[in-house]
Amino acid sequence: MEEDQGMSNMGSYEEKIEQFSWEQAEQELGYQKDAMINIGYYCSDRICETGRAAKLALIWEGYSGEIKQYTFNDLRIHTNTIARFLQNLGIQAGDRICLFMDKIPELYFGFLGILKMGGIAQPLFSAFGGESLLTRLEDAQTIAIMTQKKHLGKVRKILPDIAFLKYVIVVDDDGSKPLQESEISFNLEKENPVENFETFPTTAETPSVLHYTSGTTGKPKGAQHVHYSLIAQYITSKFVLDLNNDDIYWCTADPGWVTGTSYGIIGPWANGITQCVLDAGFKAETWYKFIQDHKVTVWYSAPTAIRSLMKEGLEPIQKYNLTSLRHLCSVGEPLNAEAVIWSEAAYGLPFYDTFWQTETGSMMICNYPGMKIKPGSMGKPFPGITATVVDLKSHEPLQKPGVVGLIAIKPGWPSMFRNYWNNEATYKSKFIKGWYICGDRASIDEDGYFWFVGRDDDVINTGGHLVGPFEIESALLEHEAVAESAVVGKPDPVNMEVVKAFIALKPGFEASDMIKLQIMNFIRKRLSPLAMPQEIEFLDALPKTRSGKIMRRLLRAKEWGEEIGDTSTLEND
């Protein structure tokens, strides 16, 4: 699939590779080494200073169809107002402030407001249950949480268990339900707008965002980012999403996950682009209507959503005018060739796959407008990024095309995570022989295109969201009926993987559908709907290694119909 190169921001990929430098992005943003760089400022004040104050920054639509619009000047003032409010409470630069909200405007303003006052933003998915929330707030020693009335129940429940949390800020208090004494009401519409706020003088290495991500073992880890990440998020938005001044851009991701912040807040707004947000669940017709009504031109989504749209077929597409669309991108899971080919037939445009991670902070391996797409391939490294695949054991770069190894990236790109919060040992373990090892397997073909093979660990990717088996297994053990558990990913045609739990029950408990449902609900409430096992299989005992460890990989291999062979290779879990 070829496209006209001349029209895109990137132009020729080969030429860009030759000419590219991160300094170019710095210059475009007027950033000078060692000077102040603050994401909040760059996404609002700077856009106003460059003559775009009256331009629409955000078109927001709620689940009931209510629409709100905000200009870049509104964005500047609202983020100032939140920043000042947080400062007045006594919150200091460097403090962690959690955002625990649906995709309401306050989430977006709050994120930038926190950054403007020098705080570290910790966005968490609002569908998280109490335990998921508690683990992450405890780990980050979070001092404040900004939330909505509807999520207060979960927050109140865990409050007695968190020593550090001092401020519970309710952003949509309308007086209809009394708040508790310790809770603080904040209402953007009633607050005095702050016209001038002195942005905290953050510099390149000042921590900015803490995004929690799941691993195979242990608790979720907080990938710690810095304000300098802006350079990469800005330039990839320009070259990969191909954003231009007139675009209306829609990123479907929730800012509880990294796509929703790097490309649902920072990158596009630093480019002065109008963004749309739909605070409603997935439904094909709602999505198409949204694109039609707001004349979305650039759309960034995920394979699970694309496969769900494929399932709905062409009929709903024909009901809406989607001719505004001009560029489509995807992230989060392997984008199968069928989905690329289908989207070309359905929308007249292919989806361009992009590969990256919470840890990388910005896109790493992508397909670019103007570059030939090979459907099913993740594309090629972004200019300025050195990526390869290394041998699974020796970690030396593989020289031959087509051989499967681990995706590895040369450290030093601007948006690289700078640590895992409180967990430097794990952070360091990701760097081997001068490479950052992503934990994914892939091969590179003779033309330099990367082909994703799968993860190199047991982390489950369900609908583009990573869930850690360990976190679910630990939660399962808290259920009164569960003696042992092992959690694996099971193939799924739409979500790629869903969570499956193998459980051995305690004596006195009988396997039944009823107990399955109870356990599923238990996990949904404690952790999240994503972590909830879609399937539970009861076993008398779980397979174990000689040293007594549960052989999760053996169970996984069975689900995927893989040869089990010599089980000793499956033992090192």
Which amino acid, 146? M
Q: Are 234 and 267 in contact (CB under 8 A)?
A: yes
Q: Which is nearer to ligand PRX, 453 or 483 (CB)?
A: 453
Residue 259 near ligand PRX by CB under 6 A: yes
The dihedral built from the CA positions of residue 10, 11, 14 and 15, taken in this order, carries a sign that is negative
Name the minimum Å distance from CB 331 to ligand PRX.
5
Q: Retrieve residue 149's tokens.
A: 């009335």
* Cα→Cα distances 311→70, 305, 317, 330, Å: 35, 10, 12, 17
Q: Which is nearer to ligand PRX, 106 or 497 (CB)?
A: 497
Instruction: Kindly identify the residues of this chain, within the stretch 123-142, that bind ligand PRX according to CB under 6 A.
Output: none
Considering only 389, 466, 527, 536, the residue that binds ligand PRX (CB under 6 A) is 466
Q: Which is nearer to ligand PRX, 249 or 452 (CB)?
A: 452
Q: Retrieve residue 182's tokens.
A: 């310790």
Instruction: Kindly identify the residues of this chain, within the stretch 172-231, that bind ligand PRX according to CB under 6 A.
Output: 213
Q: What distance, in Å, lies between the first and last C-alpha atoms of the chain?
A: 41
CB-side neighbour CA atoms (13 Å) of 142: 33
Q: Which is nearer to ligand PRX, 126 or 213 (CB)?
A: 213
Considering only 139, 254, 440, 497, the residue that binds ligand PRX (CB under 6 A) is 440
For residue 7, how many other CB atoms are within 10 A of its CB?
12
Q: Which of these segments, 43-51, 160-168, 195-203, 438-446, binds ligand PRX (CB under 6 A)?
A: 438-446
Q: Which is nearer to ligand PRX, 440 or 473 (CB)?
A: 440
Cα 64 → chain centroid: 25
Q: Which is nearer to ligand PRX, 288 or 420 (CB)?
A: 420
Name the minimum Å distance from CB 535 to ligand PRX.
22
Q: Tokens 């605070």 map to which residue?
A: 279
Q: Which of these segments, 150-158, 306-314, 385-393, 434-442, binds ligand PRX (CB under 6 A)?
A: 434-442
Q: Which of these segments, 19-27, 61-69, 118-126, 437-445, binds ligand PRX (CB under 6 A)?
A: 437-445
| Residue of closest CB approach to ligand PRX | 358
Name the minimum Å distance from CB 565 to ligand PRX.
24
Instruction: Kindly identify the residues of this chain, within the stretch 377-396, that bind ligand PRX according to CB under 6 A.
Output: 378
Q: Report helix, strand or coil for 157.
A: helix
Determine the Cα–Cα distance for residues 296 and 286; give it in Å rounded to an integer.
13
Cα 246 → chain centroid: 26
Determine the Cα–Cα distance for residues 246 and 324; give it in Å rounded to an integer.
11
* Cα→Cα distances 30→13, 231, 310, 443, Å: 25, 11, 43, 38
Q: Are 113 and 81 in contact (CB under 8 A)?
A: yes
Interface pattern 324-363 for ligand PRX (x via CB under 6 A): -------xxxxx-----------------xxxxxx-----
For residue 348, how many other CB atoms are within 10 A of its CB?
11
Phi, psi of 385 (to 5 degrees): -110, 130
Name the minimum Å distance from CB 474 to ligand PRX.
20
Name the minimum Å distance from CB 547 to ligand PRX.
29
Q: Which is nearer to ligand PRX, 398 or 466 (CB)?
A: 466
Q: Which of these segments, 231-239, 253-261, 415-423, 550-558, binds ligand PRX (CB under 6 A)?
A: 253-261
Q: Which is nearer to ligand PRX, 210 or 505 (CB)?
A: 210
Q: Are 258 and 358 in contact (CB under 8 A)?
A: yes
Q: Which is nearer to ligand PRX, 137 or 364 (CB)?
A: 364
Q: Which of these segments, 102-110, 142-150, 255-263, 499-507, binds ligand PRX (CB under 6 A)?
A: 255-263
Report which of 220, 266, 235 is spatially closest to residue 465, judged by C-alpha positions. Answer: 220
DSSP assignment of 160-194: GG-SS--EEEETT--SSSPPPTTEEE--TTTSPP-
* Strands 431-432 vs 460-462: parallel, antiparallel or unpaired: unpaired
What Rg, from alpha-carbon coordinates, does the chain have? 23
Q: Which is nearer to ligand PRX, 118 or 463 (CB)?
A: 463
Name the minimum Å distance from CB 291 to ligand PRX.
22
Using CB under 6 A, count the residues that bind ligand PRX: 23
Q: Which of these segments, 186-194, 320-328, 433-441, 507-515, binds ligand PRX (CB under 6 A)?
A: 433-441
Q: Which is nearer to ligand PRX, 12 or 336 (CB)?
A: 336
Q: Tokens 């009861």 map to which residue?
A: 538
> Is 572 exposed, middle or buried, given 0-12, 13-18 or 19+ CB atoms closer than 10 A?
exposed
Q: Which residues in this chain contact ligand PRX in the complex, by CB under 6 A?
A: 213, 257-259, 331-335, 353-358, 378, 438-440, 452, 455, 461, 466
